[in-house]
Amino acid sequence: MATAFLGTGVGGPARVALIGVPYDRTQSFRRGAAAGPGAVREASWSLETYSPVLEVDMLEAGVCDLGDLDVADLDPPAMVRRVQEAVDGLAPGVVPVLLGGDHTVTVGAVRALVARFPQLRAVVLDAHLDLRHHYEGSPWSHACTVRRLWEALGDARVVLLGVRSGLKEEWEFARRHCRWVGGSLALPEAVHAELRGYPVYLSVDLDVADPAYAPGVGNPEPGGPALSDVLQALYLLRGLPVVGMDLVEVAPDLDPSGATAVAAAKLVREMVLAFCGSAPAR
C-alpha cells in the first residue's frame, strides 16, 4: 500500500522504519485496533507531507514503511516476540515507529531497544496508567502495558503524561516507581533535562486526547486535552534523544467520521518530523 507516509524514494538511506502491528487481542473493552495501521496510512493521503510548524517534510526524513507484521493469529506473548524481533532486526541508527494496534505492541519494541540501549527511558502519553500486574487473568492485557515497561526498564525510568484514569493501587505504584506521573501533558524542566541525557522511547496512546478529537479508541476517557495540546506537548519534547516510538490504540471503525485516523496520521507525521526530521549527528 503506497501512501504519502511511505517515503517512496526516501532520498537517501532510511532513518525511520514504519512498522504496522495490526493486533487487538489484548483489548479489555472494545476491539478494532487491528485496523489501525491501514487506516492511518490511508488517512495520511489527506495530509501534506510538510509540517509548517517543524519546517521539515516527510519526503526528506528518510522514512521507509516496512508494512504490517503478520501477527493476527498470534497469542499475545508471540505477538510481542514478533515485534521484538522486527525492531531488533533494524540496522543501527534506524528509528522504529510502530503503528498500533493495542498498546501491548509497545512491550516488544521496548524489550528490543533496552537490549541495545541499557539506559533506555520511556515517555508515555496515555489517559490510563496501564500499571496493573494482571487484568482479567492476563499479564498481556493493554491495561498492563506500562507495568511490563517498568519491568523491562527498571525503577524510575518511566514518565507518564496526560493520565486521568487508574486504580488507587496503580496511582500509588506510579508515584513510587515511575520517574514522573502527571495528569497534565507538562513535563517539569528538571525531568526534561534529565531525559536529555538518555535514549528515550516515546509511546503515544491516542486515547490521551479527549474523545471529542479521537473517539475511535478502545477505551475513551473523557476530560482530556485537545489534539492541538497533544501536538504542543510533543513539540516541547523535541530535543530528546528518541530511539523509538509508537502511536497505538487507533480503532478506526469505532469512528465513522474518520477523524480519529486523520488525527493519528497527523500525530505520526509530527512525531517523526519532531524527533527524526533532520539528519542525525551519529
Q: How many residues bind Mn ion (CB under 5 A)?
A: 5
State the nearest-atom distance from the C-beta of 166 to Mn ion, in Å. 10
Which residue shows C-alpha cell 526530521?
277
Q: Which residue in 12, 6, 28, 19 sits closest to 219, CA to CA?
A: 28
Task: Report the C-alpha gap between 49 and 65 in whole angstroms.
Answer: 14
Cβ 101 vs Cβ 248: under 8 Å? yes
Which residue shows C-alpha cell 534529565?
194
Q: Is 205 in the site for Mn ion (CB under 5 A)?
A: yes
State the nearest-atom distance from the C-beta of 117 to Mn ion, in Å. 25
Task: Report the C-alpha gap between 278 and 259 in whole angstroms.
Answer: 29
State the nearest-atom distance from the C-beta of 34 to Mn ion, in Å. 16
> Segment near Mn ion (CB under 5 A), from 62-70, 111-119, 203-211, 230-238?
203-211
CB-nearer residue toward Mn ion: 54 or 204? 204
State the nearest-atom distance from the C-beta of 241 to Mn ion, in Å. 25
CB-nearer residue toward Mn ion: 4 or 144? 144
Q: Is 229 in the site for Mn ion (CB under 5 A)?
A: no
State the nearest-atom distance from the C-beta of 7 to Mn ion, in Å. 28
The three three-digit cell numbers of residue 241, written as one number: 534523544
Q: Is 246 in the site for Mn ion (CB under 5 A)?
A: no
Strand partners, 95: 16
State the nearest-atom distance from the C-beta of 111 to Mn ion, in Å. 20
- Kindly tell me which residue out of 126, 246, 255, 270 binds Mn ion, with binding defined by CB under 5 A: 126
State the nearest-atom distance from the C-beta of 106 to Mn ion, in Å. 11
> Segment near Mn ion (CB under 5 A), from 5-13, 128-136, 179-187, 231-239?
128-136
User: Which H or E run contains 232?
Assistant: helix 227-236
Strand partners, 20: 68, 99
- Kindly tell me which residue out of 170, 207, 210, 246 binds Mn ion, with binding defined by CB under 5 A: 207
> Segment near Mn ion (CB under 5 A), from 73-81, 118-126, 182-190, 266-274?
118-126
Which DSSP state fits 133?
Answer: S
> Segment near Mn ion (CB under 5 A), from 40-48, 65-73, 125-133, 265-273?
125-133
Task: Report the C-alpha gap between 201 and 96 in whole angstroms.
Answer: 10
For every residue of 45-83, DSSP letters joined together read: TTS-SEETTTTEEGGGTTEEEEEE---TTS-HHHHHHHH
Q: Is 170 in the site for Mn ion (CB under 5 A)?
A: no
Task: Report the C-alpha gap between 242 and 202 in whole angstroms.
Answer: 7
Q: Is 128 in the site for Mn ion (CB under 5 A)?
A: yes
CB atoms within 10 A of CB 85: 12
CB-nearer residue toward Mn ion: 114 or 124? 124
Q: Point out which residues bind Mn ion (CB under 5 A).
A: 126-128, 205, 207
